[in-house]
Structure formats: structure tokens, C-alpha cells
Amino acid sequence: MTPSLILFAAAAVSGAYADLDAIDRQVAAFTGAPVGAVGGALTPVDRRLRLQPCRSGIALSWRTTQQMSVVVQCGDANGWRLFVPVKRAAPVAAAAPVADAIHRGDAVAIAITGEGFTVSQPGEAMEAGAVGDWIRVRPTAPGSARAEPMRARIERPGLVTLPMP
């Protein structure tokens, strides 16, 4: 069971949209690190988002036990939910040869990431590779039978990412 913390924030009376700066501050308080620092949000919440003000309060929790991202959720009836990626420490370079993290045919999560958001779908590895390698993958979600293969970077076993500019 992952620990969760509920922070209640007053809705912004002056604006028609949620205060994204306040969300960034709440994420920083939850993680214990500022935006951009190891352990804190990777980037600020995307300023293009137009979220409805949350009148019942915002709940924050870790998405997984590895604490790779924070779930920010509005508790209103028609609320919203954000996944905020957390900055991890740079891996230590190994002198030994690196083993493949993903093998051909492995089931993977394909995560499309951009400034302040992440969307994922199931996929299959069409090539093998180590962490950091770019490999071909194809989506396997229902309705994606004719989906074209794409190139994605291996983040860890079972996860590949396709960063958006």
C-alpha cells in the first residue's frame, strides 16, 4: 500500500482555471523537493492545461511504490487527474557490458511523454536492447492491430518512452 497525502486547497476565486503554480507547490511539498531537483517534479505542470478549479480539494499520492510519479487528483464529481513525473538520480555508469533490459517479443508499456504529461499504452518489443537503447515497438492495445511500429527508448525493463518535443 503506498502512502498518500491529501492536501486541501481553496479554489482560485479570481480565475476560471485551477492555479497551476499552487499545484506545483503542493507537489513540491508532497515530494519534499522543488521542481527540477532530484526527488521533485521533473518539470512544472504544463502551463497550457486549463483545469477546472477543484472545490473539494486535491489529493496527492505516489503512483507506484518506486515513486516514479505523483498522482494529483481533484476530488470533485467531474474532477481531473494528472501524473507528474519525478526526477530520478542519474544512474551510475557501469564498466561491465550491459545486459539487455528488453528482449524481442517482451510485453512493454509504451509511454509517450511531454512537458508535464505522460500517456501510456501496452505494446510489444520487436527488438532487444539495453537501458538507453532505441528499439522498434508496436502497440498492442485493442484497435491497434494495424498500428505502425515506432522507435522508442528503453527506460527500464518493461518500459519504453517516446519523448515529445
User: pLDDT, tens digit, for every residue of 87-104?
Assistant: 988 766 656 677 899 999
CATH architecture assigned to 107-163: Roll (2.30)
Minimal CA–CA distance to 110: which of 65, 141, 67, 146?
141
CA distance 138 to 118: 18
Cβ atoms of 52 and 17 within 8 Å: the answer is yes
CA distance 44 to 54: 19
Quote the pLDDT of residue 14: 43
More confident of the two residues 25 and 65: 25
Read off the pTM.
0.49
| CATH 2.30.30.760-classified regions of the chain | 107-163
Q: Where are the alpha helices (DSSP H) in the chain?
A: 20-31
